[in-house]
Structure 1
Amino acid sequence: MKSFIVTAVIAIAAGAVFEAVGMFLPWLLGPMFALLLVNQFTKIPLYWPRFLRTVGLVMLGVQIGSSFTRDAVLLMAMDLPYMAFMTVSVVALSVALGLLFKRMVHESLGTSLLGSIPGGLAQMVVLAEEIPSANITVVTMMQTIRIFMVVTIVPFLTIFLHGRGAGEMEEQLFTFSPGLFLLALAVSLLLYAGMKKIKFPAAELLAPILAMAIVQAVSGDVLIDMPYWLIAIAQVCIGANLGLQMEGIGDKLTFRLGAAIVLNNVLLISFTVLIAYILANWLPEYIFLDFFLSAAPGGIAEMAITALAVGGDVALITGFQLFRLFFILLVAAPLVAFIVKKLDAKTGY
């Protein structure tokens, strides 16, 4: 309890300081940076319960899901070809960068590919555990550093991009209906139970998003509009977890490995800028910011928080991110794991 209280005080104080000085995403980045530094350079015992991360993801999932109006869902169906183009392009480059990483640091093919594909830390580590030739420590470092770089660099870059002002955002008036809200809750619980049964990742975030999207698309109503202070609490819960998740990374890195990982991620982020530029010119009715956050190889939660802060189209960005997540977890990552296992069997690893 003492460690938790200390951790909570540091996280909230850091968020308040970041907010006071006008930093971007203060309640996410403040706790993340503060706890990362305290954990790395002091002996202060820190603890953040996993259920608080879950609470943060659920609250954020409800807020993201509320942006999926009936019109937004219909528009997503029309955008499927562009989602496929963006996803296949990003995944293909990730594979190419994995091959480059293999040559730079002489790691195994499995390690290099699973570390480079932006499919989520936990999911890529689980796949790496099934491949004898994969170095789980390196895969963990590659995925963790990518998350850190994307969460740090991408929001900073959006400061220089044009988002939507308050007057340009489509006004959504929510109408609280107890029946519909209970229906959304029931759908969310069913989806969560199903995802947990098949061990699908990020169920705490995806279940409320999909439930809200389904109920709102069918009913035509917007069920909820969460106040800023609740979104701030959700960001603290997620940011504190991110900061502690990166424990001990600096102790395991060599200069060569660190430089290769940084180069890998800089090239991937730069490529997403190119893809966003192509789509923004291809579809002038959208803005560059939407496609940049859609293509960015970060987590759904982090990119949605950024979109909320800078006036991005949350439904569009979440839709693109969801499409990539499903494609990677259901198609790309299993295919890579299958090929690597076959190659390992031929070489007698």
Structure 2
Amino acid sequence: MTRDSILTTLALVLVGGLGGFAAHLLHTPLPFMLGSLVATALSATLFARAIPEGYVFPQKFRLIFLAVIGVMIGAQVSPDLLDLLPAMLASFTAIVLFVGLAHGGNYLIFRHVGGYDPATAFYSGTPGGLLESIAMGEAAGADIATLTMQQFLRIILVITMVPVGLSIWMGAPVGSASGMTLAHASPSDFSHVHLVVLTGLIGILIGKPLRLPAWQLTGPLFAAAIVSSTGLGVLDLPNWMISVCQVVIGASLGMRLGGLRGRAVLRGAGLGILSVGLMLSIGLAFALVLVRLTGQPIDVLMVSFAPGGVTEMALVALSLNANPALVTAHHIWRIILTVIELAFIGRYVQPRTL
């Protein structure tokens, strides 16, 4: 990295941190990631001339923080959760149907209402697998700026609408807006940092060769799940460290949205609302059916089907006194199914011809 690139990255992280802190004061869902994303995207658009030509946010730097988030999610997997999985067979099966219905409906929205080209519509409509959708969409010739915008709008709308809706329904804040966190350590407790780092490193080393979907995140996640579920160690970090990770990830993602103009964003937001409305309706329908089959409350099932950020949905689950790892397991399964679908269709069908 050049000196200019390093200084630009540090400046973007600082801007992202300020945006995250502002969002935290406003009690928004997933404040440090969303606040950082919005602040960085605005800065990249308004002050584009200040960013060196050809600058790209360093992915190896970002990888460190993605791995930490993966470890902290995987750490929620416990023996008690594994005991619950057989009883959730019906909901796991329903997610298979959910992915197909949601993706098909979204494609129709983006293709025929939005007028996007086939590849852009196809990859914009995936109900998960954000990084894979962007990477595969770019390779398939999709409009990468539009695709990135729609994917982030999906997450932003879901992790905003679901916690806000549940907060209104329950009469109290839920999710990160209620102060929930995946961390349990005190701000000055660094006793488990070495194990978190080691677990994340092992996850990265095994995730890429195994070609896991979103291996930067899921490799450490699965490694942490093994450590946590088998009792090999305790994986925990102070909450401020996790917030820093979210700021860096948000800043890197915000850079991808820099340069989009108001009309394109408004159009994308309208399509995003239609898309998210469709997916939440499908999820609610499945939740209503699964209440009797699984014995789980409808709000927990609804969160398990909401196609938003894994971390925020886990935090919402905490607010509902539900096992966050159980909700996370549904979302990981949704993401894996989506990536498998993308890989199959991308190989045998060619989305640009749909």
Aligned-partner SS, 2:304: helix
Deviation at 1:29, TM superposition (A): 2.6
**TM-score, normalised with respect to structure 1:** 0.77
Deviation digits for residues 49-82 of structure 1 (CA, Å, limit 9, x no counterpart): 4344323222222222221111112212432331
- Counterpart of 1:125 in structure 2 is 134
Letter in 2 for 1:147: I
Maintained 8 Å contact 1:110/1:131: yes
How far apart, in 1, do the equivalents of 2:29 and 2:49 lie? 27
Q: Secondary structure at the match of 2:168?
A: coil
Moved more, 44-53 or 110-119: 44-53
Does the CA contact (< 8 Å) of 1:111 and 1:139 recur in 2?
A: yes
Aligned residue for 2:278? 267
SS in 2 for 1:197: coil
Deviates more, 1:82-91 or 1:195-204: 195-204
Give per-residue Cα distances to partners, 1:108-167, cap 9 Å, x unaligned: 4444233212232332234335546x5555444432332332343334334335569x9x
Conservation of the 8 A alpha-carbon contact between 1:12 and 1:31? yes
Q: Within 5 Å, give how 1:1-349 maps onto structure 2.
A: 1-43=6-48, 45=50, 49-129=58-138, 131=140, 135-136=143-144, 138-160=146-168, 162=170, 189-219=201-231, 223-250=234-261, 253=264, 259-280=270-291, 282-284=293-295, 286-304=296-314, 306-307=316-317, 312-330=322-340, 332-338=341-347, 340-341=349-350, 344=353
Q: Find the aligned partners of 1:32 and 1:153 in 2 and give their Cα distance.
A: 18
Instruction: Return closer, same or farther for 1:200/1:295 CA change in 2, 3 Å cut-off.
Output: same
Asked whether the 8 Å contact 2:148–2:256 carries over to 1, the reply is no
Q: How many aligned positions are there?
A: 331
Task: Write the letter of the residue equivalent to 2:339.
Answer: L
The whole-number CA distance in structure 1 between the counterparts of 2:63 and 2:221 is 14
Distance 1:257 1:323, change over 3 A: closer
Q: 1:55 to 1:157 in 2, by over 3 A?
A: farther
Letter in 2 for 1:156: V
Quick check: 2:145–2:256 contact (8 Å CA) kept in 1? no
Distance 1:309 1:13, change over 3 A: farther
Give the 3-state SS of the residue equivalent to 1:321 in structure 2.
helix
Query: Secondary structure, in 3 states, of the residue corresponding to 2:349?
Result: helix
Q: Secondary structure at the match of 2:95?
A: helix
Residue 26 of structure 1 deviates from its aligned partner by 2.8
Amino acid at match of 2:46: F
Q: Deviations over 1:317-349 (max 9, x none)?
A: 11001111111212x2234335633994xx9xx
Q: Does the C-alpha gap of structure 1 residues 320 and 312 become closer, same or farther in structure 2, counting only changes over 3 Å?
A: same
Structure 2 distance, partners of 1:49, 1:306, is 31
**In structure 2, how many angstroms separate the alpha carbons of the residues matched to 1:312 and 1:335?**
34
Say if 1:235 and 1:343 are closer, same or farther in 2 by CA, change over 3 A: closer
Q: Which residue number corresponds to residue 169 of structure 1?
A: none
- After TM superposition, the runs of 4+ consecutive aligned structure 1 residues lying more than 6 A away are 184-187
For residues 267-319 of structure 1, the C-alpha deviation after alignment (integer angstroms, 9 at most, x for no partner) is 223433333344345434x3334323321222434434554577552211110
Rounded to whole Å, the distance in 1 between the matches of 2:333 and 2:64 is 24
Does the 8 A contact of 2:77 with 2:225 survive in 1? Answer: yes
Give the distance between the partners of 2:119 and 2:45, measured in 1 at CA. Answer: 29
> Are the structure 2 counterparts of residues 125 and 229 from structure 1 closer, same or farther at C-alpha, using a change threshold of 3 Å?
closer
Indicate how the Cα distance of structure 1 residues 343 and 145 shifts in structure 2: closer, same or farther if over 3 A, else same: closer
Give the conservation status (yes or no) of the 8 Å contact 1:38–1:44. Answer: no
TM-score normalised to structure 2 length: 0.76
- Larger deviation: 123-132 or 113-122? 123-132
Structure 1 window deviating more from structure 2 (88-97 vs 309-318): it is 309-318
| Identity %, equivalent residues | 25
Q: State which drifts further: 317-326 or 255-264.
A: 255-264
| Letter matched to residue 21 of structure 2 | A
Q: Secondary structure at the match of 2:350?
A: helix
Alpha-carbon distance change, 247 to 193 in structure 1, aligned in 2, over 3 angstroms: same
Q: Write the distance in 2 (CA, Å) between the matches of 1:23 and 1:193.
A: 35
> In structure 2, what is the Cα distance between the partners aligned to 1:135 and 1:44?
23
